[in-house]
Amino acid sequence: MRTEPVSFYSAGARLAGLFRTPEAPQGRLPAVVQGPGWLGLKDAALYQRYHQALTEAGFAVLVFDYRGSGESEGDRSVLSPRGQLEDLVAAVSYLCSRPDVDADRVGAFGTGGTGGGNAVLLAARDPRVRAVVSQVPVADGADWLHRMRSEEEWLRFLDELEQDRRLRATTGRGRLVDPRREIMVATGERSSSRVKADVDDRAPQRVWLAAADEILDYRPVDAARGMRTPLMVIGVERDAVTPTDHAVRLYEAAAGPRRLLLQRHTTHYGAYDRYWQVVTPQIVAWFDRHLSAGDVWSQAELAGETAGWLA
């Protein structure tokens, strides 16, 4: 796999990316774009094995740091799902501008909470995206934040948000918080997991609490409703980080070709290691199937592929 550092612009900010291709690329390649998951970074070791498999199958991959994250420009204290979607659209435009990419064969891959949700939002917004894979996604931001907390904690959190809104309205500035502990609430597994250890210390540590307002409005499940872009959703049974029913709801909402994979007898972070050799070939096959057409493109397949259990 070849890796080339690249950059492109979104809303005037320079974004840093990695463009990955086969060792011996031939002709214009189909391409997959990926924005990182919740507080992730483009060079996370977790992503490399997916990229390796995709490039070995003849795809190019573009992964990048969102605005304000990693090596990209932007305010480090701003965490904005709306801004991340704009960045993803800009990333598709960048891919389509490259002479070595087939602009008629672009897909989106997202993993890890809002990473999985963002891929769905992108596919619903941008018709240039012809296929999408969403792994362990958030489908409903308000439900996600609520279910991390007891009812008492949830009501207290809503009160804190209201106080922050008033503070922003009267002073122009809100409160800085730890995004992992004061917006998201880390599970015991997340606190002990080493899956993202290689990038954790470079991820944003303090962000404006205003980010929570955007997450409350975050609804990939609405975007998926009626969406005809081919969609594969990958979830984990009894997931304590991104609830299993979020993956199921996205799958059920889609109207085009769709597939649901649920991984059993594991955990949110444990699934990356336990099932990557099973799941990764299916991700590659999904993109190969739905990005295979170039000049002649047809979508005659209807939704209705059955769910598959990975035991």
What is the rounded average pLDDT for all residues in the chain? 91
User: Would you say 14 and 97 are in contact if contact means Cβ atoms under 8 Å apart?
Assistant: no
Q: What is the pLDDT of residue 291?
A: 94
User: Average pLDDT for residues 23-34, to the nearest whole number?
Assistant: 93
CA distance 260 to 220: 16
Q: What is the pLDDT of residue 308?
A: 61
User: Average pLDDT for residues 283-306, to the nearest whole number?
Assistant: 71
Element (H, E) at 6: strand 2-10
**Taking 60 as the threshold, does the pLDDT of residue 306 lie above it?**
no
Question: Burial letters for 80-115: b for 16+ Cβ neighbours within 10 Å, e otherwise?
Answer: bbebbbbbbbbbbebbeebeebbbbbbbbbbbbbbb
CB within 8 A of 114, min separation 6: which ones?
Answer: 37, 38, 81, 84, 138, 141, 215, 218
**Taking 80 as the threshold, does the pLDDT of residue 207 lie above it?**
yes
pTM: 0.92
Domains and CATH numbers, the chain: 2-140+219-310 (3.40.50.1820)
Q: Please, which pLDDT band fits residue 25 given cuts at 50, 70 and 90? A: confident
Q: Comparing 119 with 194, which gets the higher pLDDT? A: 119
Q: What is the pLDDT of residue 298?
A: 53
Q: What is the pLDDT of residue 11?
A: 96
User: Average pLDDT for residues 113-131, to the nearest whole number?
Assistant: 97
What stretches of 43-113 adopt beta strand conformation (E)?
60-64, 101-113
Q: What is the pLDDT of residue 15?
A: 98
Q: What is the pLDDT of residue 270?
A: 87
User: Would you say 109 and 60 are in contact if contact means Cβ atoms under 8 Å apart?
Assistant: no
pLDDT, tens digit (0-9, with 9 covering 90-100), for 252-274: 999 999 999 999 999 888 888 88
**Taking 60 as the threshold, does the pLDDT of residue 304 lie above it?**
no
User: Average pLDDT for residues 59-81, to the nearest whole number?
Assistant: 96
User: Average pLDDT for residues 123-128, to the nearest whole number?
Assistant: 97
pLDDT, tens digit (0-9, with 9 covering 90-100), for 170-197: 999 999 999 999 999 876 665 555 565 6
Q: What is the pLDDT of residue 269?
A: 86
User: Would you say 242 and 144 are in contact if contact means Cβ atoms under 8 Å apart?
Assistant: yes
User: Would you say 115 and 36 are in contact if contact means Cβ atoms under 8 Å apart?
Assistant: yes
**Taking 80 as the threshold, does the pLDDT of residue 244 lie above it?**
yes
User: Average pLDDT for residues 137-147, to the nearest whole number?
Assistant: 97
Q: What is the pLDDT of residue 80?
A: 96
Q: What is the pLDDT of residue 310?
A: 60
